[in-house]
């Protein structure tokens, strides 16, 4: 029913039932107590002078909103698009951010690598996002990394190497660290300096071979032969010269070839190269020597502390050896010899600092270098020597030398 405005009564006016119903009863029915029927009801104006009841919502957590017809009140959830304003502080569970950056909302809705790159402002490169363990990268430009392991890397171009000095080479030093081989001068050759030392460019000894001495032992006239207690030395055989000890207890053969009859030849100097080829007859406890030097020998054996560079056999073992007149420096056994093995033996002297020794058995592969550095000879000599001794055993040792050569 509609509200009726209260009338102004006049003196003598008769109060009728109709007026009482209109003024008192009907208007009283429009008051809150009359309209509200249930706990939680709310009174609101649906029009001018027209109260109305908004029944309580049966759904919890709803709020009073002006979202009804003509914006009259009704129960509703808070509309996040239109029902809130301002910035929720971090302390209240918010972010404190008034707005999202460009494309951030797109990434939050679809979190792809492409959308992430669009949301960033300082990105580099394109493609998929990369994580720390075993990523697959396509043509990355890494700049100058402070640490990078390329153990399994392939396809590194020459242009990717750091710039260096014209003519230098890359090597590894004794600690296994990459290093550069310094530039040599014109006509120098790359030279190994043995285990534990980086190679270097060095003169090849001489661009011109200044001296050569070689023999196939055609005649005895060129040699000085010293025989102790018999034995046999035969020249111009199919194998050059054969040096045999006798079967007496103190037998030796010492064959020497002189460069000149004066010591100024200095055969140790000038980085010489020496070689020979020998068929060896093994005999227990016997010794033999081949090389440069004057190693004293008799039927009791060799004096391997005398100045020399060369090879020796002791029983069935072959060694490389050098001495400075007081101390011998000899390798461990390089091989076990069998009778009639043919050994090519060669060495090259590196200035006055070391000697590289090589062997070849029965025409097989040339061995790697055995390098000796200490106890280089200290006295000038002019002798090339081949010698055998039965070391007082009474055993026979033969030493068939096909040829011998010396150059520098």
Other beta carbons within 10 angstroms of residue 156's beta carbon come to: 9
**pTM for the whole thing?**
0.54
- In this prediction, residues 83-87 reach a mean pLDDT of 80
DSSP 62-114: -EEES-SGGG--EEE---TTTS--S---GGGTS---SSPPTTHHHHHHS--HH
**List of residues 6+ apart from 86 with CB closer than 8 A:** none
According to DSSP H, which parts of 120-265 are helical?
A: none
What does DSSP assign to residue 20? H
User: HEC profile for 305-351?
Assistant: CCCEEEEEEECCEEEEEEECCCCEEECCCCEECCCCEEEEEEEEEEC
**249 in Cβ contact with 299 (< 8 Å):** yes
For residue 262, what pLDDT is reported?
65
Measured distance CA(248)–CA(242) in Å, rounded: 18
Task: Identify the residue with better confidence: 151 or 316.
Answer: 316
Instruction: Please work out, in degrees rounded to the nearest 5, the angle formed at the alpha carbon of residue 313 by the alpha carbons of 296 and 335.
Output: 155
- Tell me the pLDDT tens digit for each residue of 334-349: 999 999 999 999 999 9
The tokens for 244 are 């045999």
Measured distance CA(202)–CA(184) in Å, rounded: 7
- Tell me the pLDDT tens digit for each residue of 165-182: 888 888 888 888 888 888
**179 in Cβ contact with 377 (< 8 Å):** no
- Tell me the pLDDT tens digit for each residue of 240-277: 999 999 988 899 999 999 988 766 778 999 899 999 99
Domain ranges of the chain: 15-58, 167-202, 212-407
Q: Does domain 212-407 have CATH number 3.40.50.2300?
A: no
Measured distance CA(309)–CA(321) in Å, rounded: 6
Measured distance CA(217)–CA(393) in Å, rounded: 28
């Amino acid at each position: 029913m509609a509200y009726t405005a209260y009338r102004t009564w006049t003196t003598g006016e008769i109060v009728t039932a109709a007026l009482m119903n209109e003024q008192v009863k009907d208007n009283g029915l429009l008051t809150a107590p009359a309209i509200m029927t249930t706990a939680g009801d709310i009174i609101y104006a649906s029009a001018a002078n027209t109260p109305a009841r908004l029944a309580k919502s049966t759904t919890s957590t709803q709020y009073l909103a002006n979202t009804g017809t003509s914006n009259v009140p009704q129960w509703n959830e808070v509309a996040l698009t239109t029902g809130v304003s301002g910035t929720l502080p971090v302390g209240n569970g918010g972010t404190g951010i008034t707005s999202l950056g460009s494309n951030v909302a797109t990434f939050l809705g679809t979190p792809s690598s492409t959308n992430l790159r669009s949301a960033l402002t300082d990105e580099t490169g394109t493609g998929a996002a990369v994580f720390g363990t075993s990523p697959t990268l396509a043509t990355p430009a890494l700049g100058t990394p402070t640490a990078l392991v390329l153990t399994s890397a392939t396809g590194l171009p020459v242009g990717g190497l750091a710039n260096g000095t014209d003519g230098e080479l890359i090597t590894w030093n004794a600690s296994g660290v990459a290093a550069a081989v310094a530039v040599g001068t014109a006509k120098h050759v790359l030279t190994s300096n043995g285990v534990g030392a980086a190679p270097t460019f060095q003169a090849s000894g001489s661009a011109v071979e200044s001296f050569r001495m070689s023999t196939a032992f055609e005649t005895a006239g060129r040699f000085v032969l010293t025989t102790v207690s018999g034995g046999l030395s035969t020249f111009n055989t199919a194998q050059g010269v054969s040096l045999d000890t006798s079967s007496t207890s103190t037998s030796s053969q010492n064959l020497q070839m002189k460069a000149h009859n004066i010591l100024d030849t200095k055969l140790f100097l000038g980085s010489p190269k020496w070689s020979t080829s020998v068929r060896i007859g093994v005999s227990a406890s016997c010794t033999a020597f081949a090389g440069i030097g004057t190693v004293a020998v008799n039927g009791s054996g060799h004096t391997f502390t005398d100045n020399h560079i060369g090879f020796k056999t002791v029983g069935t073992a072959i060694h490389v050896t050098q001495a400075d007149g007081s101390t011998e420096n000899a390798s461990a056994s390089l091989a076990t010899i069998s009778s009639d093995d043919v050994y090519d033996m060669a060495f090259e002297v590196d200035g006055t600092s070391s000697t590289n020794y090589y062997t070849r058995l029965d025409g097989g592969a040339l061995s790697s270098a055995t390098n000796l550095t200490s106890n280089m000879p200290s006295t000038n000599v002019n002798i090339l020597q081949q010698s055998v001794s039965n070391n007082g055993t009474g055993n026979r040792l033969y030493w068939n030398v096909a040829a011998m050569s010396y150059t520098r």
